[in-house]
A and B are shown apart, each in its own frame.
Chain A
Amino acid sequence: MNHSDELVGKAYDAKLMKRFFSYLKPYRLYVVIIIFLIITTTGISLLGLNLVAKALEYITDGKLAENEKVSFLIKFTAIYFLMQALKGILGYWQLYITNYVGQKVINDIRNQLYSHLQGLSMSFYDRNPVGRLVTRMTSDVENLAELFASGLIAFFVDIFLMLSICVMMFITDWRLALISLAILPALFAVTMIFRSKARQTYRDSRKQIAALNSYLQENVVGMAIVQIFRREKRNYDDFERLNHEMMVTNIKSLFYFALFFPSINLFFTISTALLIWQGAGSIMAGALTFPVFYLFWSYLQKFFQPIRDLGEKYNILQSAMASSERLFKLMDTPSDISGSAQGRIVDILRGDIKFRNVNFSYEKDNYVLKDVSFHVSPGESVAIVGLTGSGKTTITNLLLRFYDIQEGEILIDDIPIKDIDISSLRSKVGLILQDVHLFTGTVSENIKLGNSAITDETMESVIEYVNASEFISRLPGGFKSEVKERGATFSVGEKQLLSFARALAIDPKLLILDEATSSIDTETEQLIQQAMEKLIKGRTSIIIAHRLSTIKKADRIIVIHKGRMVEEGTHQELLAQNGIYTKLYELQYKMQNK
């Protein structure tokens, strides 16, 4: 299902890395400082070792006079402590800045990812489980942080070190150098094999953790349903299976990880053994002096140090690469809604809506709206009526451009909707969704929704309109009362009132009510109806409702049936047509009076 998964190979990795490093650009200066600090601290510790060695030499070989020795020792110890203190301070800053840059980078990546996700269309959210997206935002990004923390920058410094050591080795004695480094091709081959094998398991692992999280997310949100329907056991089994699959993958990757570092180590020892074998032989033959051999030996140690370090961290690197694949792929997902950025900004919305022969399907070929045409004039109030599943909510989805249509045209104020800047359009539409959604926060935050232009007075007046002031005043903290996730501690009707208030608070030019009062008692509904008379004045409004009583104030009624517009007119006109509307109306009347 994921085609980019096939893109294994060096070129591909280099591309990932390059993209990854592009995030370091803003922190160039820091990177330079880090490199400087790494070099300095390494220098100091090497110097320190030399100093100790020198001191040992002086003390042990009796070159100094007895009385000089003590003063030398004092001097020496003082210098040594100073150096160590300096190294400590520099080392601390190296650690701090490295982490800082790493954190900054993943911070940037996370922000960028989030911004990108905010721009994706509804059809993206229809397809992608929330748990998966959350996994990308947290676990995958954290995986990259791990890479930085484990010294990604230091590693690139190390490569230079290795190269220079290599050069030094060849300059010193190319034959010994060849023999000591003979193992490198094998090492390279093992690394490549490891990479391709390990990467796949890390990829699987990322996929599985996302699946697990999605399952978890759904189960937590729907736990009451799970319990009422007694699915605990089965769902536990499902969870356990997902968890187990992930473990199997992880243990598989563990196998590569367990194998890799020891084999690098083995290569190192073999290299050393080769050097000893060749070196010792040459020394015995008198072709090599011990000091040169010793030099070589220490070179080899230094040469392998970064390789062994990398061996330990290679799994972190591979896992991070697998994560960055996912992240970049997500960041590269284009929004289905095209041209949203450079659209025309509508400052004042008149509220003129035209649908012209609109055909629309959520998924290929399965058309939900067929050849729908209608016109709503500014200030008009139009009701949409129809059986369940006929396409009413879909019309509102299109009006806010949550989805793009396949055929036909939608015009707002005579501008094709595709040419309008989306947020300038949406910010003038008050939409009351059929599914109420509240966020964690306070009541007032849920009404204002981050819109600082809404004053407390406006908020209180809309609350008055929707008749929710009594219920809010009963809450322990009034408008400051906590709202829990999804408004879990409110009744459904109360939530509906809040979402009604939310839509009114932005003083919309176009008001869309999708079953806005379906869960509200008759009395409150009545009061809202009365308020609505005032509210819809000067605004265009579209009202969807199954209870025909709710739409009686509408100027005109549109009847949708199986995705087609079948009837249109005032209540009286529709009754005269004796069609679907008449049937619905009579039914309601009959039920009421039976």
Chain B
Amino acid sequence: MKHFYKINKYVAPYKGKMILGIVAIIAANVLTALVPILTKRIFDDIDRGSMTMPALYVMVAVIILIAVVSGLMQILSRLLIMGASRRVETALRNDTFANIQKQSPSFFVKYRTGDIMSRLTGDIESVRMAIGFGVTFIINSFVAFVISIGGMSYVNTRLAIISLAPLIIIIFIVRKLAALMHEYSMKTQIQLAAISSRAQENFSGAKVIKAFTQENSEIEHMKKLNLDYLNCNMELVKVTGIGFTVLALVTEIGIGVILWFGGRDVISGSLSKGDFIAFNMFYFAMLWPMVALGWTTSLFQRANTAMERICELLEAAPEIPESSGDAATQCPVLKGDIEFNGLDFEYSSGQSSFKLQNISFAVPHGRTLAIIGTTGSGKTTLMNLLSRLVKAPDNSILIDGIDINKINPGALRDCLGVVPQESFLFSDTIRNNLIFGRPDASDEEMRFAARISRISVDIEAFPEKYGQVVGERGITLSGGQRQRIAIARAIMKNPRILVLDDALSSVDTHTEEEILNGLREFMKGRTCIMIAHRISTIKDADEILVLDNGRIVEKGPHQYLLSLGGMYAQMFAQQQLEQQLI
């Protein structure tokens, strides 16, 4: 149960409530135990002929009163303990989400979206069940045990020891089974997460699935995952089933033992008949708690497994911590001088053998740098390093002369406006997507940004205008509309440094030119990095980097690069040629 203990921190604030709830359970149990005693009194009195009608009324009234009070106790305990479990659940989910928010893209490469969703719902649910029901049942069982064992020992200690001896086996069995349960719970949860992930990817790639008529093969695949899940579940059922059966059996053995030893004692006269019957009754009172114990064990095992899975997310150390470096460099107001200084970089995931080698360049603030290069040459990687989505080696990237690793990622991103290569919008209104980075921005600013990025006309044509809700990722917009909203979103931030990663790839030439004209004004006084494949887009930049397979092969302004007669000049010639051919 080493993982489940981690929940302590979350339960601690509700310690008082939990204790009160536990007390209420105990009270309810003890009170309920009083009812049979009273009933016995009534009939003993009738037997003896000492019962009167008024006394009967009183007794019956007392029984009902006890029932009412114990009912109230039950209600109280449920409200307190289950209520606390809901609050713990909520806090745990919040904290896990908060930690997920601190993670870099490499984390999301490791954990699939569906998996994360599964952990934040199914697994947290298991933990909640253990806190709510688990605790209630354990206390119930415990009280019943104490009463039973106490009663048995009181009646006959020797017989109590003998009859409880077989129960020792249970401890070993439970320990053995718990390990198995842990293993199978883990498999089950992983399998459920696999279903969740598969479904998640299927639904978000619905168009591809349909276009390539993969529905049937997807259904087959899901059937297989489903079957695996069923089998895992059945393995778990096997283990818990054996557990339950053995528990029941051991308890029944106890009854046999009582009959055997107790019976002989009664025969030999060393045990009174009354004691023997009372002993039996106490033992019987233990039957149900034994079964509940089995159930509770599986509940806690599941929760333990679940907690282990949650903690993987909850305790994952961010690759790029919120605060690194000393206070002075924590939150500087950045001008926007960028310098890459002999940067060497490799992805640590082992997913590719790609390397950035000896990248050095500088962009003084207010200047524009363009990057052009072959597919997969590392342009986007450079930008991800710059926005600290990926961790750079120390002292290889400097902003305003400060090592980027010493700048708080938040402070850095505050001065950064990024248009990513793939436009991602949220399923919200267009307005909220535009003001995503500046929720306090005025309508004026929003419209201004929409005008520069040439999306305002499109928006005005939508039935709900700026209030139009777009689908997830922006699927209800055209590719170019999405990209232009992403541009406007970055402009809205009024950034010191503007990064455009192939940000005009989905717009037509006419719109492209309009946007570039608008941006020219906007870019004045800001540092700007533009990535593009078309030379026409970038030739006005102050400096152009030509990247090939992780290295800078050429560097300089347009005219200079043309005069070099290298890769850039070749690209230019090719693009011109294409143009003439049509």
Contacts and interface: CB of A to CB of B under 8 A. Distances in A.
Nearest to B272: A60
Nearest to B570: A523
A209 B120 CA distance: 11
Contact of A59 (B113, B267, B439, B506): B267
B67 to A, nearest CB: 3
Interface residues of A, number: 173
A135 B273 CA distance: 60
Contact of A92 (B46, B105, B242, B505): B242
A122 B210 contact: yes
Contacts of B56: 277, 280-281, 284
Contacts of B484: 388
B8 interface: no
Contacts of A69: 263, 267
Interface string B138-165: 0000000000000000000000000000
A437 B458 CA distance: 26
A417 B349 CA distance: 47
A423 B90 contact: no
B100 to A, nearest CB: 7
B427 interface: yes
B74 to A, nearest CB: 4
A492 B532 CA distance: 12
A254 B420 CA distance: 45
B353 A451 contact: no
What does DSSP make chain A's interface, helix, strand, loop or mixed? Answer: helix
Contact of B479 (A135, A243, A388, A471): A388
B128 to A, nearest CB: 9
Interface string A49-74: 00010011001100000100110010
A392 B60 CA distance: 83
Given A88-B248, A111-B222, A475-B352, A491 B376 contact: yes
Contacts of A135: 121
Q: Which has the most chain A C-beta neighbours within 10 Å: B210, B238, B263?
A: B210
A592 B475 CA distance: 32
Given A273-B67, A276-B60, A439-B205, A257 B234 contact: no
Interface in A508-548: 515, 518-524, 526, 546-548
Contacts of A55: 259, 263
B347 interface: yes
B222 A114 contact: yes
Q: Which has the most chain B C-beta neighbours within 10 Å: A96, A209, A229, A280?
A: A229
Interface string B14-43: 000000000000000000000100010011
Interface stretch (A2-10, A27-35, A99-107, A371-379): A99-107
B195 A139 contact: no
A450 B207 contact: no
A573 interface: no
Nearest to B61: A273
Q: Which has the most chain B C-beta neighbours within 10 Å: A84, A290, A494?
A: A84
Contacts of B302: none
A411 interface: no
B168 interface: no
A520 B372 CA distance: 11
B199 A137 contact: yes
A250 B86 contact: yes
A33 B219 CA distance: 31
Interface string A115-151: 1011100100111011101110111001000000000
Contact of B241 (A76, A80, A95, A523): A95
B533 A261 contact: no
Contact of B439 (A234, A236, A482, A521): A234
A222 interface: yes
Given A125-B206, A280-B56, A388-B479, A592 B579 contact: yes
A89 B277 CA distance: 29
B345 interface: no
A166 interface: no
Interface in B455-494: 458, 462-463, 471-473, 475-481, 484, 489, 493
B245 A549 contact: no
Interface in B499-518: 502, 505-513
User: Which 10 residue pairs are nearest across A and B when measured between Cβ atoms?
Assistant: A388-B480, A493-B375, A450-B217, A269-B67, A258-B78, A549-B578, A229-B437, A118-B215, A262-B71, A552-B582
17 contacts: A48-B252, A60-B266, A77-B260, A80-B259, A125-B475, A223-B105, A225-B424, A236-B101, A240-B94, A269-B66, A386-B508, A388-B506, A485-B112, A485-B197, A490-B376, A491-B375, A491-B380
